[in-house]
Structure formats: C-alpha cells, structure tokens
Amino acid sequence: MKTYFFILVFILSLTTSCKSEKKAELPIATVELPLHNKRVLILGNSITQHGHYVDFIEYYLRKQYTDNQLDIISIGLSSETISGTSEDQREYPRPNVRTRLDKALTEIKPDLVIACYGMNDGNYHPLDSLRFQEYKTGISELKTKVEGINAQLILMTPTIFDPNPIEERVSKDGEKHEYWHPYYKYNDVLEAYADWLLSIETDALQVIDLHHHLGPILAEMKTIKADSTFIPDGVHPNKIGHLYMAQKILKDLYPEISIEHPIAEIEFLKIDSLYSLVSKRRELRSEGWRNYVGYTKNGETIKWDSISATKTEVEKLDKAIENLLSK
C-alpha cells in the first residue's frame, strides 16, 4: 500500500511544484501586487479556519517580495455560512457570517476582502432553490457592505466534495440529508454555486475559481488510483489540497509565482523555517482577531475584550521573520 502511494506521489509530482520565477525578470514598476501594501481580510468556513492555504500564499509572497508590506488577517469560522441556512437536524443553527460582518469590517478596516463560502451553504442537500437564493442574497449583502467601506471584494468559488472516502455514510435521493450523511451528488450543488459566482464576475468583482481548478486535479488522481483523494473526509481538503488552492489563488493574483510540483513542495515546507514562522503567525493572528470580532456557535458566544496581547505576540514573530529573511 505504501509503495503504491509513493508511486502515485511521484507521478503526480511530475505533472503538477513551487518555483518562484526570478523577481528581476519583471520590471518592478510593472508588477501588480494585489495583496501587498494594504490590509486584507479573508472570510470563510472551516477550510479557511484551518488556514493552510493562507499560510502557503503568505509564505510564497514573503519569499518573492521581501521589501513589500503584507498584512493578511484570516478569520474563517468552522460550520459558517453566508446564506444563514442550516440542516433541520442541527441542535443549533450554523453560524452566519452576516452576524459578524459589520464588526469585522469596523474593527479590521480592510482595504480588500476575500471570501470563500458555499461548502456549508447547500446544507449537504440536493440543489434547493430557496437555499440557493439565500446564498445569492448573502453574497449580495457582502458585496454591498464591502463596497460601503470603499474596499475591494474578491470571491472564491467553493472547493469540491468527494463522496468516495465516505461512501458508507452518504445519502441518496429520497433519504435524509445532513452533514454526517451528505447527498452523494453534493458536488453538483457546489458546481451550481460556483457557476453562479462566475456569472456575476465583472471588472470590479474578481472571482477565483477554486472549484473547477480542483476538480480536474482530483479526477486525474483517481485515474491513477481509484480511491485517491486530497479530501479524506469528503469535505475538508488536506494540506496538499490547500496547496492546490493556493496554487490557483497565486496563479490568478500573482502569475509570476508558479507552484509547479505541489506534492514535492509539501515535503520541503515541512522543514522550512520561514514557513513554520508564517504558519504560527497566521494561526495566532487568526484566533486573536476571530475572537476579538466575536461570534456565536453551538449556543456559545465568544468575544474577547482586547486584541493587544495578540498584537504583541505577532510583533515578536514579525521580528523573527524579518531576521530570517534578512540573512
């Protein structure tokens, strides 16, 4: 089994790693830095709370652009939606980002907001017009409020659902659907959400299409080995899945940075000191700001009175990162 896995890893490494093209090849004056020199707020569900794709993005940007300020705050919250809908069987409703959005915008004061919702919004049911409309309403409200503070909004399509690893507990047509028994064709629902987001893209509203980027990668893996996946629980991408997400985000925002062999790159990052510091900083800062903004989940409200302690600890990590990059 292990031998087969490493063969798979090797083959995929040849086709899909991280190489940053030399900064000197592009005149500095012509390079756009969409996430630099501004405050960036990232909103999302548990995939964003796990935060690995944010770590990867910040790591590669810090390596490539050492002289430019990077200020990214991600406050993803597990179970959250933007639709405000929940499965009927839940004891408590899912958190709704719209209940904390005003506070987040007021306290964090972002210049750019990036949001990734959809995975929880269909509630793991077949496509339903009412749920879908609530999703559209939530996206519209987010857009209005972000524009209201003169900030930019970038939307990301939902990632993908893989029923294969959890085939023993997926639900079929006519059966009861919920998180622990998701609809076996739930990826079709996510595709509908993704396609709608893409349909509202304009020059002023960018949409990064994670869904249609990840789908072919997973399909290719399964042609090599049928039970291969980077979504072991069907919903949450593992670290390599997060690196595939970062690959697409960087491709759209910073095309001069290419992640050509993600699987091989993951092994390198395990021993990279800069990545370790960046990840620790992101996790610390995310927890602090998420709790300072506040949220209610499973009947419990979390709200910190101060962000000062978090800022102090982050400053220490900033110095450590600066010292490492200056060597």
On whether residue 128 sits in a domain, the answer given is: yes
Q: pTM for the whole thing? A: 0.91
Q: Is the pLDDT of residue 16 over 60?
A: no
Domain holding 285, by residue range, is 17-325
Instruction: Pinpoint the alpha helices (H) of the chain.
Output: 2-15, 46-50, 52-64, 101-108, 129-148, 186-199, 210-224, 239-253, 262-269, 273-293, 308-325
**What is the pLDDT, as a whole number, of residue 27?**
42
CA distance 267 to 262: 9
pLDDT, one tens digit per residue, over 62-82 is 999 998 899 999 999 999 999
On whether residue 182 sits in a domain, the answer given is: yes
On whether residue 321 sits in a domain, the answer given is: yes
- Average pLDDT of the residues in 78-92: 96
CA distance 268 to 275: 10
CATH number of the domain bearing residue 264: 3.40.50.1110
On whether residue 276 sits in a domain, the answer given is: yes
Pairing of strands 71-74, 300-302: unpaired
pLDDT, one tens digit per residue, over 175-195 is 999 999 999 999 999 999 999
Closest by alpha carbon to 214, among 239, 247, 189, 259?
Answer: 247
pLDDT, one tens digit per residue, over 242-273 is 999 999 999 999 999 999 899 999 999 999 99
Contacts of 103 (CB under 8 A, 6+ apart): 293, 294
Do the beta carbons of residue 68 and residue 37 sit within 8 Å? yes
Do the beta carbons of residue 209 and residue 198 sit within 8 Å? yes
Q: Is the pLDDT of residue 10 over 90?
A: no
On whether residue 1 sits in a domain, the answer given is: no
On whether residue 2 sits in a domain, the answer given is: no
Q: Is the pLDDT of residue 21 over 90?
A: no
On whether residue 42 sits in a domain, the answer given is: yes
Total domains in the fold of the chain:
1
DSSP 8-state symbol, 23:
G
- Kindly report the average pLDDT of the chain as a whole number: 92
CA distance 103 to 302: 13
Residue 29's pLDDT band (boundaries 50, 70, 90)? very low
Do the beta carbons of residue 60 and residue 250 sit within 8 Å? yes
On whether residue 220 sits in a domain, the answer given is: yes
Contacts of 37 (CB under 8 A, 6+ apart): 68, 69
Q: Is the pLDDT of residue 145 over 80?
A: yes
Residue 30's pLDDT band (boundaries 50, 70, 90)? low
- DSSP sequence for 167-184: TTT-B-TTS--BTTB-BT
Contacts of 204 (CB under 8 A, 6+ apart): none
